[in-house]
Amino acid sequence: MSNTVDLAKFNHSWYRPGNILLRALWFIKGRVLINTYFPWPMWVKRFTLRFFGAKLGRGVVIKPKVNIKYPWFLTVGDHVWIGEGVWIDNLGKVTIGNNVALSQGAMLLCGNHDYKKESFDLVVGDITIEDGAWIGAQAVVCPGVRVGSHAILTVGSVATKDLEPYGIYQGNPASKIRERVIQ
């Protein structure tokens, strides 16, 4: 006989993502300046993210309707493209290298739940995306995953484990289908 999940026992009081006032201010500013279709100039978006603690390199492009949970847990390298509708659910640290492309609707998910526990405990894992990688449209990178240098996660695929450098990955869960050759 199996036990059952009891969500009344869920307790994530250990998780402290930042000051409540900072989070509330970010919730408002983020919705108005980042997670919107209003065509704010790129410098406004970059300034706002830096103001809230994100570390951004040069030439970062942030398209409309990008959702970033906590900018103070975000580090982005130079010349990174963050596509329309990207969701960076960074309950943990997200580190993005140089020349990375996150296509439309991609999701970087740092949080999950321990399905083996009756209380469905929160589990947090950091994500690292190395230089030159490409996360395809509607693709998902799960907690604790490292995407190797110049790896590709194809459209709609789900990375549940680390991706090797220069590998092209497809499916759910993603598996390597071939090597990436750059000419």
pLDDT of residue 180: 98
Based on C-alpha coordinates, what's the Rg of the chain?
A: 17
For 25-64, write each residue's pLDDT tens digit.
999 999 999 999 999 999 999 999 999 999 999 999 999 9
Crossing angle of helices 42-51 and 20-33, in 10° steps, is: 170
pLDDT at 49: 98
Instruction: Give the residue among 57, 89, 58, 84 at the shortest CA–CA distance from 71.
Output: 89
Quick one: pLDDT at residue 60?
98
Question: How many Cβ atoms from other residues are within 10 Å of residue 26's Cβ?
Answer: 23
Asked whether the bond before 173 is cis by omega within 30 degrees of 0, the reply is yes
Report the DSSP pairing between strands 122-124 and 111-113. antiparallel
Give me the half-sphere count of Cα atoms (radius 13 Å) on the Cβ side of residue 29.
17
Which residue carries 């790896």 as its tokens? 151
Question: What are the two backbone dihedrals, phi and then psi, of residue 68, each rounded to the nearest 5 degrees?
Answer: -120, 120
Q: What is the mean pLDDT of residues 109-122?
A: 96
Quick one: CA torsion of 150, 37, 88, 80, rounded to 10 degrees? Answer: 30
What percent of the chain is predicted at pLDDT more than 70? Answer: 99
pLDDT by residue (tens digit) across 159-179?
A: 999 999 999 999 999 999 999
pLDDT of residue 116: 94
The secondary structure of residue 35, as a DSSP letter, is S
56-108 pLDDT per residue, tens? 999 999 999 999 999 999 999 999 999 999 999 999 999 999 999 999 999 99
Q: State residue 140's pLDDT score.
A: 98
- Mean of pLDDT over the chain: 97
Q: Which of 44, 52, 88 is nearest to 68 (CA)?
A: 88
Could you tell me which CATH class the domain 40-179 is placed in? mainly beta
Residue 1 has pLDDT above 70, yes or no: no
Domain ranges of the chain: 40-179
Nearest residue to 136 (alpha-carbon basis) of 125, 124, 147? 147
pLDDT of 4 above 60: yes
